[in-house]
Amino acid sequence: MYSDKYSSVTDAIAKVTRGSRVMVGSFGMAGYPGALIEALADSGIGDLTIISNDLGAPGVGLGRLLSNNQIRGLIGTYYNWNPEVATAYNEGRISVKLVPQGTFAEAIRAAGVGIPAFFTPTAAGTQLAEGKETRRFDDRPCVLEEAIHADVALIKAYKADELGNLVYYKTARNFNPVMAMAADLVIAEVDEIVPSGSLDPECVITPHIYVDVLTMKGN
């Protein structure tokens, strides 16, 4: 199926430049834009800030970017699945900003919907709130968190229509829809492209306004 947004994986990744802030959808290996990540690792583009829930496993998927020394900084929630992250951080090779997972998701959505900052009760009084403004609402301490925006988002969806409307598959949805709203350039890896009008308008999760490039594995 033809789409004017369609691009090869290689051409799509060529739009990522050295020093970019790159969001990547996934939770572990679910909803993971595998072909795009492989191409990004193959490209050797460096000095990246990767914004993702986790960093896969050592040398696998997003983990490859770390093994390749392509990463300058990480913003995310959970790196225990990839112990190389703690090692690189301890050795001063990368910066790491840990964010509670719900705050991370909400801050990415906030960037997408034009909310520069919000208060949340999550993390109040903990180490992760240090240096952040705290204010009471309904007598509950809340932390001011700022939106998280990226230059590029690499996301994984199940189907796209020709226009670029997206639907997802089960728990592969995770961070992908919010990341689709929060980056200047959004590249979606999909399994299939279907004709416009064949996705139910009630069930479109990411409207095509958010999607810049469509790509598919093996193309």
Compare residues 45 and 190 and give the one whose CB is closer to another protein. Answer: 190
Compare residues 45 and 112 and give the one whose CB is closer to another protein. Answer: 112
Distance from the Cα of residue 49 to its chain's centroid: 11
Q: Which one of a second copy, another protein, none interacts with residue 134, CB within 5 to 8 A by kind?
A: none
Q: Is 142 an interacting residue with respect to a second copy (CB under 8 A)?
A: yes
Let me know: does 72 contact 97? Beta carbons within 8 Å: no
Q: What CA–CA distance (Å, rounded) separates 67 from 131?
A: 31
Let me know: does 48 contact 20? Beta carbons within 8 Å: yes
Q: Edge-to-edge, what's the strand order for the sheet holding 21-24?
A: 95-98, 71-76, 48-51, 21-24, 150-156, 183-189, 213-215
Site string for another protein, 131-170 (x = CB under 8 A): ----------x-------------------xxx-x--xxx
Q: Smallest gap, in angstroms, from Cβ of residue 142 to a second copy?
A: 6
For a second copy, the binding residues in 176-215 under the rule CB under 8 A are 200-203, 205
Residue that is written with structure tokens 């969001």 in the block = 23
Q: Is 137 an interacting residue with respect to a second copy (CB under 8 A)?
A: yes
Let me know: does 58 contact 82? Beta carbons within 8 Å: yes
Q: Is 176 an interacting residue with respect to another protein (CB under 8 A)?
A: yes
- Near a second copy by CB under 8 A, which window of 22-30, 72-80, 109-117, 188-196? 109-117
Do strands 140-146 and 117-120 pair parallel, antiparallel, or not at all (unpaired)?
Answer: antiparallel
With CB under 8 A as the contact rule, the residue among 124, 134, 159, 185 that binds another protein is 124
Q: Is 54 an interacting residue with respect to a second copy (CB under 8 A)?
A: no
Q: Smallest gap, in angstroms, from Cβ of residue 9 to another protein?
A: 20
* Dihedral angle of Cα 103, 109, 110, 112, to the nearest 10 degrees: 160
Binding residues for a second copy, per CB under 8 A?
Answer: 106, 110, 113-121, 137-138, 140, 142, 146, 167-170, 200-203, 205
